[in-house]
Structure 1
Amino acid sequence: MSPRPPTLARNLTYRLVWILLVTIVMNVIVVGTYYSADQPSLEREAIEKQLSLLQEAMESTDPNLHAQATALYRSYPHSYGFALLDAQGRLLDAENTALIPPEALETDLFTQHWQTRLTTADGEVILMSTAIQRPEGKVRLVFVMHDDPGHLVRRALAREFLTHIWIPILPVAVIMLAANHFMIRRGLSPVTHAANWARTIQPGQPAPPLKDTALPAEIDDLVHSTQRTLKRLNMALVAEQRRGAEIAHALRTPIAVLTARLAALPDGETHTKLRADLAALSRTVHQVLASSKADSLDISSLSRSDLNKIARDVIATLAPFAYQNGVSLSLHPSSEPAIVKAAPEGVELALTNLVENAVLHSNSQRVDIRVSPEGTLSVRDFGDGIATDALAHLFDAFWRGENAFPGGSGLGLAIVQRLQLAQKGAIKVSNHPARGAEFILIYRNKNYRNKNNV
């Protein structure tokens, strides 16, 4: 059974997600391009962040906080440094002061907040100075950066992304996605309602009533068109079934008359051949009747079948037929009740066709019928099995193998498949590892029970 395709609501939601993702990616590209082009602003933001961390650590008595704030300077002694000076230019705290040009420590720059880029013998350095008010008076904090192995500028760019993209856009995107998903599901609910109604349609059965629901004009037209089409198809199907049943019933009387008259004739080779031909004609009539019923089985919520009972009834009916063909029937019932959701008439017709097929076409002297507690019926013969090239055509109507039993119509297995499909069941066929072929009838809702079953 092929997997069910995704729903329309899911497809639309996926498309909405892709639109949001593309929007976010485009925002990332635009913001990244804009801020990457403004390198001085990123550098200023990165340095101000470090100055803020240093100031916080200096105002705190927590030694761990001070260690965290100065870890950058100890990890990269040739790239970052700072100096804390009082109004007289004395160093109060410092790391890697050799990186700071002497002119940056001059006292006439004490109260000014500035940033500059200087060219030294070791390359370009970026400097920033800021005044800090402390209880003992104002002090000045100077920061220097040579290269950026600690990726301070990249971190500043990441903070810009967080501030201008992730924080404002993601919550809005999530809210939009949830709201649109809810609106999509609500807007498509009439389509879902119509689809659920369509799944309840059964071949040969009138279209079930559609509950009063406000459907959009397009869906309402589709539903009513489907109802009209189904009505015409059911009328054509009923007419076809009636014609087949009428023909089969009309043939049963002359067949019964011929059987009675044939019984009065003396035995002989011609008599034996006529009896075989008449038996084949009778089976064909029976299969035509079964075919006319295959598409009109009533599988209601209370339909249930006892597989053990049906198997016993079928074997009791076909035992004389099998004996005449030199075949013994063996039943292996389930040790537990095997109740499935299926029409008993459909199960009986399917099993009867399989057993008759095994008796006539398997070239076997024994046929086993087995009932499993999981709700399956298997028919196995001990003949030559089925040719590999024939497996693909077994269920084709009117198809017959090269060595098929004479007088058959090629309808038996096709009818079995139609019966199983009509009951939402399945049929499997394979060559048994030991010998012969095995057909398995599978029914859904295994071990089915209803409130009337005690």
Structure 2
Amino acid sequence: MAQLLTRRLAWIALAVLLANLVLIWAYYGSDREALEDKVVERRMAVMEAALIASDDGGYRIESGARALFETHPAAYGFALLGPEDRLLDQANDDLIPANTLESSRFADDWIARLPGEGTQLVVASHTVGPPAADLRLVFVARGDPANLLGFALLAELVGHIAVPLVPAILLLLGANALMVHRSLGPVTRAAVWARALHPGARNTAPPPETGLKEIDELLDATGRALDSLTQALSAETRRAAEAAHALRTPLAAVTARLDELPEGEATQRLRRDMAQLSRTVRQILASANADMVAIEPGARADLRAIAQAVVATLAPVAIRRGAELELQCQTPSLEVAGDSEAITLALTNLVENAIVHAGGRITVTVGPDAGLSVRDRGPGLPEGDPDHLFEAFRQGPAAPATGAGLGLSIVARIQRAHRGAVTARGHPDGGAEFHLAFGESR
């Protein structure tokens, strides 16, 4: 918002600047005589500054101010007159009407416009130098081949706009940026508080006091809305947990009765189906809990210890399915800000997916960056955008029909709660690799 307000003020300032440019341009463009007066005034000032005393006690115009007359001998001329109209210096004096050199016939300072052959002749007289020297300078211009009018107009634009307006505009923009930044400070504090909110988070900091009634009311409404959302989410989690717990008892009973059946192919298929059903129930419960993950301030999770625990727990499962688990630690210790139980659940889901869908050798890697990786040597990722894999109930074409499609969705939500990310890619040497990235580490 600060940038928007500053940008709009800058556009307004630019419009004011352009309006002044147009007005000054129109004024002098419609009044050529006023602009010619400015040219004469500037030229007289330049030549008076170049006035120097000569060796014979008189005065002359130094060479640096004579370039205009040497370059355009048919357009510009001057005469420097001393006491009793004595000619001290001149250039192209043939352009100067003879009667203009007689001081007795004119005042000392004047500008006249005389008709000429197709081009008006501008003649001006001005007293210059020390008063005791009694010097008078006569300047003549026929036409404007040196574009003195254009330079005079540019000088007027600079003098009326660049010098007074531009510094004022810059000062105004700077003061506006400072005031807007300070005025929006409460909004910035409110935004920082709002970004830290998370449904289900515990020990949520109270909203900051901004001193602005409208923002305080908005923060209060946001806090109450978050409380309502947290309560609704807790209710959903509770219902999912109650359903999962209610299913566990009959599942355990059915599994126990399976042990009473004679061994055979049908019994083995039933055991596999019951194992998959038990995993689905666990995932339903985990899916509900994933939305309630809250990272307590100062909570740390040891990724190396988590990886070791997950590999040790799932190794028997991998062996029963003919898979092989290995752990590679590229750093002796790696801690991140996070919840150990949630990260354990995320890594467990990735390893279980690799066991079920790929088999073979599965490598869990800790580090070297703040993350965990799970690589398999299976058929790789399905065609399409890998991000679709993390959508709820999304299953690959070769996934078992009994799967629920919740595992990777749970992982993605846990990583979002940790302000991290989970990515999937096909490994160059075959198979797929999933990576859990975390922000802060040590």
Query: Which among 329, 353, 356 is matched to residue 357 of structure 1?
Result: 353
1:387 aligns with one of 382, 385, 403:
382
1:82 corresponds to 2:75: no
Report the CA distance shift for 1:390/1:108 in structure 2 as closer, same or farther (over 3 A).
closer
* Matching residue of 1:150: 146
Paired residues of 2:80 and 2:89 also in contact (CA < 8 A): yes
- What CA deviation, in whole Å up to 9, does each residue of 1:145-172 have, x standing for no partner? 2232333222222222223222222233
How many percent of aligned residue pairs carry the same amino acid? 43
- The structure-2 alpha-carbon separation of the partners of 1:236 and 1:142, relative to structure 1 and needing over 3 Å to count, comes to same
Q: Does 1:268 align with 2:261?
A: no
Return the letter of the residue paired with 1:15.
R
CA distance in 2, matches of 1:165, 1:272: 92
Query: Could you tell me how far apart the structure 2 residues matched to 1:96 and 1:303 are?
Result: 92
Matched, 1:208 2:201: no
- Secondary structure of the corresponding residue to residue 66 of structure 2: helix
Corresponding residue for residue 56 of structure 1: 49
**Farther off after superposition, 353-362 or 86-95:** 86-95
Which of 26, 35, 40 pairs up with 2:33?
Answer: 40
The match for 2:408 is 413
Deviations 1:95-154 (A, max 9, x none): 232333334334534643221223334733221112335476312211112232333222
In structure 2, give the amino acid aligned to 1:190: P
Match of 2:2 in 1: 9
Alpha-carbon distance in 1 for matches of 2:377, 2:439 = 28
Gaps of 5+ in 2: none
Structure 2 residue matching 1:331: 3-state secondary structure: strand
Query: RMSD in angstroms over aligned alpha carbons?
Result: 2.3
Indicate the SS of the match to 2:135: strand
Cα deviation per residue 1:214-261 (whole Å; 9 max; x = unaligned)? 222x22322222222211111111111111112222322333333333
Which of 284, 287, 291 aligns to 1:291? It is 287
**Distance between the aligned counterparts of 1:103 and 1:39, measured in 2?**
25
Given that 2:387 and 2:423 are in contact with CA atoms closer than 8 Å, whether structure 1 keeps it comes out as: no
Q: Which residue of 1 aligns with 2:18?
A: 25
Find the aligned partners of 2:90 and 2:239 in 1 and give their Cα distance: 106
Amino acid at match of 1:13: T
Provide the rounded CA distance (Å) in 2 between the counterparts of 1:321 and 1:30.
86
8 Å contact kept, 1:43–1:153: yes
Which stretches in structure 1 are left out of the alignment for 5+ residues?
1-7, 449-454
2:370 is matched with which residue?
375
TM-score normalised by length of structure 1: 0.89
Give the 3 Å change call, closer, same or farther, for CA 303–149 of structure 1 in structure 2. Answer: farther
Distance 1:319 1:299 in 2: 29
SS in 2 for 1:77: coil
Q: CA deviation at 1:412?
A: 0.5
Query: How far apart in 1 are the matches of 2:385 and 2:128?
Result: 94
**Structure 1 equivalent of residue 96 of structure 2:** 100
In the TM superposition, 1:310-321 aligns within 5 A as: 310-321=306-317
Distance 2:197 2:17 in 1: 45
Residue 399 in 1 paired to residue 389 in 2? no
Q: Secondary structure at the match of 2:134?
A: strand
3-state SS of paired residue (1:353) = helix
Q: Counterpart in 2 of 1:440?
A: 435
Report the TM-score, using the length of structure 2 for normalisation.
Answer: 0.91
> Do the aligned partners of residues 133 and 369 (structure 1) sit closer, same or farther apart at CA in structure 2, a change above 3 Å counting?
closer
Partners in 1 of 2:271 and 2:379 — Cα distance?
27
The CA distance in 2 between the partners of 1:306 and 1:403, in whole Å, is 34
SS in 1 for 2:436: strand
Q: Structure 1 pair 96/12, CA: closer, same or farther in 2 (3 Å)?
A: same
Shift of 1:88: 4.0
CA distance 1:328–1:149, shift in 2 (3 Å): farther
Query: For residues 405 and 96 of structure 1, do their structure 2 counterparts lie closer, same or farther at Cα, with a shift above 3 Å needed?
Result: same
Q: What is the number of residues matched between the two proteins? A: 436
Q: How far does residue 274 in structure 1 lie from its aligned partner after superposition? A: 0.9
